[in-house]
Structure 1
């Protein structure tokens, strides 16, 4: 039997999509060890960098492009000129900029919620 990974979910509790994601994980038998309110406690720059690498997604997939803060800061225009380190520091500085929910177990990462992706990535991950 393999060692169980710690599953952390970064979410905003009032977000309906985040609540749907938790229900989906529960149906798959995945019980998060830690649920973090991303608005109160954004992941550290180190954790974000780790998740970005493990996700295989580009850093821009971690930005909440439909969020108010993203639009207010005019990041659509600013991001192309920023270094990856600056983008990660920006994400770590304000959880409202981060696309949610993020589910991370040390190896696997999902950003946002799509049922088919959760089915593929998280189904039976705690068996």
Structure 2
């Protein structure tokens, strides 16, 4: 089943949700700020996205700038930061089987439906 890691306060995430609804395909919504992914789940998401952990970080968030910017962090430390502060996770993330995308721009979601 398709899964979207969603933050309702984010317009890109809301747009991704609309795209999924319009697709007519069944999907699951994960409100990741309430249901924070575990280290293992984040590692799996990063693997599916085929990116480095730092590429999943919202680097303009105040939390990142105040606590982590300009530090030499390992991949494990970056993942731990996202678990501790899920607001740092880019959104929306859409997973369909063994394919995943960050829905920025929203149209990228269509490539895995």
Q: Same fold (TM over 0.5)?
A: yes
SS at match of 2:55: helix
Corresponding residue for residue 10 of structure 1:
5
**Whole-angstrom distance in 2 between the partners of 1:62 and 1:30:** 26
Q: Which TM-score applies when normalising by structure 2?
A: 0.86
* Structure 1 residues 74-118: Cα deviation after superposition (integer angstroms, max 9, x where no partner): x2312xx11111111111122111011111234111124323322
Q: Is it true that 1:39 corresponds to 2:30 in the alignment?
A: no
5+ long unaligned stretches in structure 1: 1-5, 123-127
Corresponding residue for residue 76 of structure 1:
69
Q: Which TM-score applies when normalising by structure 1?
A: 0.78
5+ long unaligned stretches in structure 2: none
Give the conservation status (yes or no) of the 8 Å contact 2:94–2:109. no
Corresponding residue for residue 57 of structure 1:
51
Aligned length: 113
Q: Which has the higher strand share?
A: 2
The structure 1 segments of at least 4 consecutive aligned residues displaced by more than 6 Å after TM superposition are none
**Whole-angstrom distance in 2 between the partners of 1:115 and 1:83:** 30
Q: Which has the larger radius of gyration?
A: 1
